[in-house]
Amino acid sequence: MITNRLRVKLSLMLTYFVFAILLNSVGTVILQVINSYAVSKEAASVLEGFKDLPIAIVSFALAAYLPRFGYRRAMMTGSLMISAVCLLMPLFPGFLMTKMLFLVVGSAFGLVKVSLYSTVGLITDDKQQHASVMNTIEGIFMVGVLSGYWLFSAFIDGDNPTSTDWLNVYWWLALLGLANFLLLLLTPFKNPMPEKEQGNIQAFMDMLRLVFRPLVLVFILSAFLYVLIEQGIGTWLPTFNNEVLHLPADMSVQATSIFAACLAIGRLGAGVLMQRLNWYLLLNICLLSMAALVLVSMPLANLAQENAQMSWSSAPLAAFIFPLIGLFMAPIYPAINSIMLSSLPKVQHSAMTGLIVIFSALGGTTGSIITGLVFGSFNGQTAFYFSLVPIAAISVTLFFFRRATLTASSA
């Protein structure tokens, strides 16, 4: 089916790497548009919606049809879309263009993620391989997130918060998108067609029917809650570092890279841990650790004081401790995704991935907006204390998810 699996894996990794930088730049961009364009926190929080809602809409509308269109062709289309919009960002600076950037990036990712997740099912032979490849690709995604923070910070003028020099980063991101397009163009691979030829309406209805399975229903609620937590923290951490911990703008973005690094380490190492520990036990340990870090870090944040000569040696302790939450957050999302996808026939992976992307996008938008509203109305500590609510909720949904997987496997 696929003649060179290693080459395909490399193309998938680069694709995810490029999108990781752009998708997770929203927190950095929110900080920059607040400073450069004098946008309020409440107004800036909609950028997450401009990114996530198109992901949900495109996935909902097209996931069932992508096997016919072609997974590789969809990923190539997405790469061209982001390259084009990145070229426009420095040419037409402004908050409206920033909204359009995330609108296009989100739409492109709706095509790419469904195609990428479905392709993983084509290049793996069993559940263990699937989980391993999924964790590796998600780990590369977090390496992309980490790289993005440092890439953006290199173009941020820490001495002049209103500067728009940070827009020059998009020239380089446009080139990276074009390089990804060329790699995909030179890496042909096939995708399976449904066993029975279906009309578009029938394929779409089959995706909707998945939602009504108990296993799928409790899974998508778990995914929704997880992304709500991750995006709420990841999106607003640069602003938290800047306004609560009093770090300069460039340092605020760089400090957020600790969170991304922890996510990357956690996901790359999760495959090893999953082979030795029961996934349900591991994820509950992670949730308890996440709650503990919130309860320890927020009081420490109250001790932060303004310092005109702020450096890494004088940075508040909370700037280093709170981002460690990413280490424990990391295994949850790829673990539940892999368990869900490997429980279904490969021809249903595209439809199921569509549902994953839809509810992940809705969770991300919800988390970012809620955190932004609480941040703007109260303060950053209160906003991050609020993450304890979905952490508790996901512990409940994981209990029912585990029970549903045991029921499905015994049926």
Which 3-state string (H, E, C) describes the chain?
CCCCHHHHHHHHHHHHHHHHHHHCCHHHHHHHHHHHCCCCHHHHCHHHHHHHHHHHHHHHHHHHHHHHHCHHHHHHHHHHHHHHHHHHCCCCCCHHHHHHHHHHHHHHHHHHHHHHHHHHHHCCCCHHHHHHHHHHHHHHHHHHHHHHHHHHHCCCCCCCCCCCHHHHHHHHHHHHHHHHHHHHHCCCCCCCCCCCCCCHHHHHHHHHHHCCCHHHHHHHHHHHHHHHHHHHHHHHHHHHHHHCCCCCHHHHHHHHHHHHHHHHHHHHHHHHHHHHCCHHHHHHHHHHHHHHHHHHHHHHHCCCCCCCCCCCCCCCCHHHHHHHHHHHHCCHHHHHHHHHHCCCCHHHHHHHHHHHHHHHHHHHHHHHHHHHHHHHHCCHHHHHHCCHHHHHHHHHHHHHHHHHHHHHHHC
194 assigned to some structural domain: no
Q: Which residues, including other chains, have CB under 8 Å from residue 377's CB and lie 6 or more apart? A: none
Overall number of domains in the chain: 1
Residue 312 lies in a domain: no
206 against 45, higher pLDDT: 45
Nearby residues of 141 by Cβ (< 8 Å), 6 or more positions away: 16, 17, 19, 20, 267
Q: Is residue 192 part of a domain?
A: no
* Contacts (Cβ under 8 Å, ≥6 apart) of 197: none
Distance of alpha carbon 136 from alpha carbon 125, whole angstroms = 16
Residue with the larger pLDDT of the pair 380 and 212: 380
Please report how many Cα atoms fall inside a 13 Å half-sphere around the Cα of residue 238, on the Cβ side: 30
For 9-23, 24-38, 188-202, 243-257, which range has the lowest pLDDT when averaged over its residues? 188-202
pLDDT single digits (tens) 35-69: 899 888 888 888 988 988 898 888 777 776 787 78
In this prediction, residues 320-346 reach a mean pLDDT of 87
* Cα gap 23→20, rounded to integer Å: 5
Which of 159-163, 295-299, 348-352 has maximum average pLDDT? Answer: 295-299
168 in a structural domain: yes
Residue 22's pLDDT is 95
pTM summary value: 0.78
At 301 the pLDDT is: 94
For residue 179, with 0-12 CB atoms within 10 Å meaning exposed, 13-18 middle and 19 or more buried, which class applies? middle
Please work out, in degrees rounded to the nearest 5, the angle formed at the alpha carbon of residue 380 by the alpha carbons of 378 and 385. Answer: 95
Confidence of residue 390 (pLDDT cuts 50, 70, 90): very high
The whole domain housing 209 covers 5-187+200-305+317-410
pLDDT value at residue 128:
66
Percent of the chain at pLDDT exceeding 90? 42
Let me know: does 330 contact 284? Beta carbons within 8 Å: no
What CATH number is attached to the domain comprising 39? 1.20.1250.20
Q: How many other CB atoms are found less than 10 A from the CB of residue 86? A: 23
What token pair was written down for 69?
Answer: 């269109």
The rounded radius of gyration (Å) of the Cα atoms in the chain is 20
Higher pLDDT, 2 or 335: 335
89-93, 161-165, 171-175 — which is least confidently predicted?
Answer: 161-165
Task: Quote the mean pLDDT of the chain.
Answer: 86
The length of the chain is 411
Lowest mean pLDDT among 43-52, 76-85, 135-144, 347-356: 347-356
Does residue 193 form part of some domain?
A: no
Which range (100-114, 355-369, 385-399) has the least confidence? Answer: 355-369
Identity of the residue numbered 342: S
Rounded to an integer, the average pLDDT of 127-152 is 80
Instruction: Assign residue 189 a region (left: φ > 0; alpha: ψ between -120 and 50; beta: otherwise).
Output: beta
Instruction: Give the pLDDT confidence score for residue 127 in this predicted structure.
Output: 65
Q: Is residue 145 part of a domain?
A: yes
Q: Evaluate if residue 393 carries a pLDDT over 90.
A: yes
**For residue 169, what pLDDT band results from cuts at 50, 70 and 90?**
very high
How far apart CA 363 and CA 367 sit, in angstroms, is 6
Return the biggest CA–CA distance within the chain. 67
Q: Is residue 280 predicted with pLDDT exceeding 60?
A: yes
